Amino acid sequence: MPPVRAFFLAALLFAASPLRAAVLREATGLVQVRSAGGDNWRPAGKTPRPLGEGDGVRTGFNAKARLELDGGSVLETAGNAHVSIEVDGPGHTSLNALFGGMRLTASAAGGRSVSVRTPTCVVRARGDRVALRLTVAGGGSTTVEVEQGVAGVEDNRGRALLLSAGQRVDVDLAGVHEATAAPTPVQARRIDFLGMMRRELGFELSRGDDFEAAARESRREEHELGRALSDADGRRVRVEEYVVRPAANRLALVVMNGRGDGLSYFSWDGTFDLALPRNLEPVFAGLAGTAGAPTPWTVTDFATTRSNGREALVEAGSGGHQVDVNGNADPLDDVAGGGMAFRTLFDRYGVYAGGVLKRGFFGAALQTYADKTASTANDPLTGAALAAPLPVVVINTTFPDAASARRATLESYGDGTAITREELSLEFGGGVAPRASYGSPDLNVEERVDFGRTTIRLVMPSAASAVTRQAP
């Protein structure tokens, strides 16, 4: 074959083949890979293993993975981490970090672009050599620590700052916080060790509606949590569910949705008055309320976040205490069936859309929400004075379709703004279930939230239904 013809044939074959510049160089422990567009996680197998754009890598407890990227950049992940490759090619490398701890060593020399995107921020390498550590926690909260060089951090609201070696910053749905001094290497190793031990002693995973079985199994092996579910329109949604125990008396549920247009997530973080048991089944079962006697564990504080990765609707409550709603003076909150029925009521509560307080209330040892006082001039949780009084709100809840399990809530505010929510019970094969099936604990749920120009769509596994209804 003439040399020129061979050259053009090779160039044509190269252009037609997908770019696979990234390589999984090392995999220690349980390391899994999911191909772009696939639904199943599979063991990484032998290394080195080529990776392409859209491929995901996740690690189990105490596992490690090392990825070599284009231009000499290296990403090292710790245990219980989840990362995917957005772009990896000449002049441009972009990663998507969904969960866990990792370390990036990169060079942005010669106009190269190296960045890591998390649910709450984008971190970009600046300069010839940069070494930094990222930790992505439940709800997308991110901690960035720069060991060497300079990194730029930009939150979802467009606020940005530069971090130099020895600095760290926390970023959450409220935005980027003030930079502080990073821990020393000895302190960092101690923090990593304590985090590893907490995960070993307290990390819990659940799947489906059998929390007890998941709790037993999680002592022996890692669980395949990722799955593809169908939404109300019949479209497939990648759903990943985590139950994490950051402290002995604290429980966090995180549900992530992956669609073609990006990532959305739900998180519920609750603090209890007592340390929780290893088996979480009775804890979850009691969140919706109990008959005859109160639960042994009371939720004292909680924060619920629904986000499309850019904006969020946050509901938070504090001062939780259990009340026999069938025995108080308000007949409107009674539970059918008679007898004692205990639910957790909160003395302080607020709803925040895009970081702005929309409504809230406060009280003292409330026995019924009919006795609450609406917040007007102060934040109900912090007590901070508001820049302007809160507008009047009218809330209407309806079932707009008599044939479908669809509940709609409209919050209309006196300043002309509104928050709309829809909750739909889903058939197993996709689509909306019949009206009689609304609220069934066996069905998955889709939630749709709109405020301003923000739309958040979430498909929630059936096991999360008790948690999603914690708000008053």
**What DSSP assignment string belongs to 102-118?**
EEEEE--GGG-EEEEE-
Cis peptide bond upstream of 48, omega within 30: yes
- Cβ-based neighbour number of residue 384 at 10 Å: 10
The stretch 82-105 carries a mean pLDDT of: 88
Closest Cα partner for 245 from 286, 291, 279?
279
Report residue 465's pLDDT band, with 50, 70 and 90 as the boundaries.
Answer: low
Measure the CA–CA gap between 87 and 96, rounded to whole angstroms. Answer: 9
* Residue 142 and residue 136 in contact, taking contact as beta carbons nearer than 8 Å: yes
pLDDT(183) > 70: no
CATH class of the domain comprising 19-194:
mainly beta
The least confident of 151-165, 174-188, 291-305, 336-350 is: 174-188
Closest Cα partner for 22 from 46, 53, 59, 43?
53
> Containing H/E element for 283?
helix 281-287
Q: Which residue shows structure tokens 């037993």?
A: 216
**In this predicted structure, what is the pLDDT of residue 107?**
82
* Residue 104 and residue 75 in contact, taking contact as beta carbons nearer than 8 Å: yes
- Cβ-based neighbour number of residue 429 at 10 Å: 7
Average pLDDT, the chain: 82
**In this predicted structure, what is the pLDDT of residue 199?**
41
Measure the CA–CA gap between 231 and 274, rounded to whole angstroms. Answer: 37
The two structure tokens encoding residue 350: 């607020």
**In this predicted structure, what is the pLDDT of residue 431?**
83
Location of each CATH 2.60.120.1440 domain in the chain: 19-194
Measure the CA–CA gap between 348 and 317, rounded to whole angstroms. Answer: 5
pLDDT(214) > 60: no
**In this predicted structure, what is the pLDDT of residue 23?**
93
Closest Cα partner for 462 from 163, 210, 189, 260?
210
SS3 state at 266: strand
Measure the CA–CA gap between 230 and 302, rounded to whole angstroms. Answer: 29
**Phi, psi (rounded to 5 degrees) for 200:** -65, -40
CA 461 vs CA 221, 257, 280, 426, 466: distances in Å: 22, 11, 17, 10, 11
The two structure tokens encoding residue 204: 């819990």
The stretch 267-287 carries a mean pLDDT of: 90
Q: Where are the beta strands (DSSP E) in 173-235?
A: 175-176, 180-181, 227-230
- Give the contacts of 193 (CB within 8 A, at least 6 positions apart): none
Sort residue 368 into left (φ over 0), alpha (ψ -120 to 50) or beta.
Answer: beta
**Phi, psi (rounded to 5 degrees) for 345:** -105, 150
The stretch 242-257 carries a mean pLDDT of: 86
List residues bridging with 131 in a β-sheet.
Answer: 105, 148
**In this predicted structure, what is the pLDDT of residue 192?**
52
- Give the contacts of 445 (CB within 8 A, at least 6 positions apart): 423, 424, 425, 426, 459, 460, 462, 464, 465, 468
The least confident of 31-35, 59-63, 165-169, 453-457 is: 59-63
The two structure tokens encoding residue 296: 């042994």
CA 395 vs CA 150, 253, 414, 468: distances in Å: 48, 27, 12, 19
